[in-house]
Amino acid sequence: MPDAPHVVVGTGPLTPDEVVAVARQGARVALAEDALDEIRAGRKVVVALADDVDPHYGISTGFGALASRQIPVDRRAQLQRNLVRSHAAGSGPEVEREVVRALIVLRLSTLATGRTGVRVGTALACADLLNAGITPVVPEHGSIGCSGDLAPLAHCALALMGEGEVRDAGGTRRPAVEALVAAGIAPVEPVEKEGLALVNGTDGMLGMLVLACHDLRLLLRTADVAAAMSVEALLGTDAVFAAGLQTLRPHPGQADAAANLRAVLAGSPIVLRHREPGWGRVQDAYSLRCAPQVHGAARDTLAHAAAVAERELAAVIDNPVVTADARVESNGNFHGAPLGYALDFLAIAAADVASMSERRTDRMLDVARSHGLPAFLADDPGVDSGHMIAQYTQAGIVAELKRLATPASVDSIPSSSLQEDHVSMGWSAARKLRLAIDGFTRVVAIELLTAARALDLRAPLVPGPATAAVRRLLRDVVPGPGGGDRHLAPEIETAVRLVASGAALAAAESATGPLR
């Protein structure tokens, strides 16, 4: 990947953008020289304890409920290898490549602090794996969010050992040892503390939170654009989005969402009709009028989740941990509760914004509420069904989003003979949030597609510059109304791609400038 961006690990906490670059853009990674020094210093502490007759968790004892068993010196390296093999016990379909890459670079970031006691070569092997484009096969199921994401991380550690399976840079599934040899990477043979250091982190949960925050920043702005298009299509007013009204309830997210709606609707001849004498409608439905309040609450939720992610990016998650004054201490920092709560909170926000989007779509299809649009936006209602079933699709997705909004983090199933008697289920919260973001994307895409069709049908009324730009983008790839019903699924998928890629937002911003 010669043209990929470059991320240096160990100069401080990774930024969210750096995590995204490694996960999605194939960014190469390197360890800072200062990080190598920290790793060597941490390793010296572990080596000094390796032959100690006193028990030290993670170095000379078993794990979890087996921590009371002291392991003879000559079996301690085997203990670490066995830990990785036994903990690589996941099941189910493969986790996405971007999630696995995020997980590995975040574990590498913790190793680079020197607080885990691994050798320099072990940390460098993680970097080599990323740079070679080798992705361990990590099954969907296995983590309960305590001690961190044990099973997913163990599958990655197993690949470093040359065991298990991986996807090579070309995406071919093959034995890990073959891929390592082909890339010139020597398999790691874990020694004291290293097996535990490679598996005991919340990196999977955190990686998915960082990716989700990145995606939701785009989606919430795009949802503002979709809402503005629906306001126009339904002959609504922008008067309720006035800055003076928003300051009466001073939530920052609400202010940003309202500012976006004002910007997207600026210069719209359709909304300007409300300034004309004799316009009879006093106020719009909640799904139009209250968009800043709902979209804004989701933004504030996202801001909280992003703050959690920033703090976690600066954290050192391992147990035991090598302290700055050269001690090895047990701790509970591996518990995923802070991440699990944030992940669940985002799923709630995504479900609610999507629910409002579906309600706006439904209004455009109903002759009793659409203010003059044909039934279901059909070319010949009765013969044609128009967007009737597109709204069904939205409704089905929104129902699923509501189920996905049920918190995972309130659950706990004890493990390891009750040694681990309260767990976070943060991995499950992260996995369902990824599904929620996909569904949210699809709901917003259908609203955009429907609003564009409704605006076409409003001719000769003309939309504003920003919404017209989005409509033109859609019309470049999706035909307008006329000619009767068409196979709608491909058009929906095209709209989904325009939303997910950021193209729809970029079209609006070509007229408005950057939205908040």
- What confidence tens digit (pLDDT) does each residue in 453-481 have? 999 999 999 999 999 999 999 999 999 88
Give catalytic residues, as residue numbers.
Answer: 57
CB 410 within 8 A of CB 423: no
Task: Tell me the per-residue pLDDT of 175-203, one tens digit each, with 9 for 90 and over.
Answer: 999 999 999 999 999 999 999 999 999 99
Task: Tell me the per-residue pLDDT of 155-169, one tens digit each, with 9 for 90 and over.
Answer: 999 999 999 999 999
Higher pLDDT, 279 or 231: 231
Tokens of 187: 């398999």
CATH number of the domain encompassing residue 150: 1.10.275.10
Same domain, 180 and 231: no
Same domain, 138 and 232: no
User: Which residue segment(s) compose the domain that 437 sits in?
Assistant: 208-512
pLDDT at 62 over 90: no
Q: Is residue 257 part of a domain?
A: yes
pLDDT at 1 over 50: no
Higher pLDDT, 198 or 72: 198
Q: Is residue 238 part of a domain?
A: yes
Average predicted confidence (pLDDT) for the chain: 94
Same domain, 495 and 377: yes
Task: Tell me the per-residue pLDDT of 134-154, one tens digit each, with 9 for 90 and over.
Answer: 999 999 999 999 888 999 999
pLDDT at 247 over 90: yes
CATH number of the domain encompassing residue 226: 1.20.200.10
Tokens of 482: 């006329």
Same domain, 140 and 219: no
Q: How many domains does the chain have?
A: 2
Domain boundary residue, one of 201, 228, 260: 201
Same domain, 248 and 191: no
Task: Tell me the per-residue pLDDT of 480-500, one tens digit each, with 9 for 90 and over.
Answer: 888 899 999 999 999 999 999
The count of other CB atoms within 10 Å of the CB of residue 134 is 24
Same domain, 270 and 232: yes
Same domain, 359 and 374: yes
Higher pLDDT, 448 or 282: 448
pLDDT at 3 over 60: no
Predicted local confidence at residue 2, as pLDDT: 46
Which is nearest to 42 in space by CA: 94, 115, 110, 91? 115
Q: Is residue 114 part of a domain?
A: yes
Same domain, 263 and 366: yes
Confidence of residue 267 (pLDDT cuts 50, 70, 90): very high
Q: What percent of the chain has pLDDT over 90?
A: 85
Task: In whole angstroms, give the CA distance from residue 130 to residue 22.
Answer: 8
Task: In whole angstroms, give the CA distance from residue 164 to residue 177.
Answer: 8
Predicted local confidence at residue 4, as pLDDT: 59
Same domain, 127 and 173: yes
pLDDT at 508 over 90: yes
Q: What is the mean pLDDT of residues 333-354?
A: 97
Q: Give the range among 43-57, 77-91, 325-339 with minimum mean pLDDT.
A: 43-57
Domain boundary residue, one of 184, 201, 218: 201
Same domain, 183 and 248: no
The alpha carbon dihedral of 284, 285, 287, 290 has a sign of: positive
CB 203 within 8 A of CB 110: yes
The alpha carbon dihedral of 218, 2, 122, 97 has a sign of: positive
Task: In whole angstroms, give the CA distance from residue 336 to residue 201.
Answer: 9
Same domain, 397 and 283: yes
Same domain, 136 and 29: yes
Q: Is residue 285 part of a domain?
A: yes
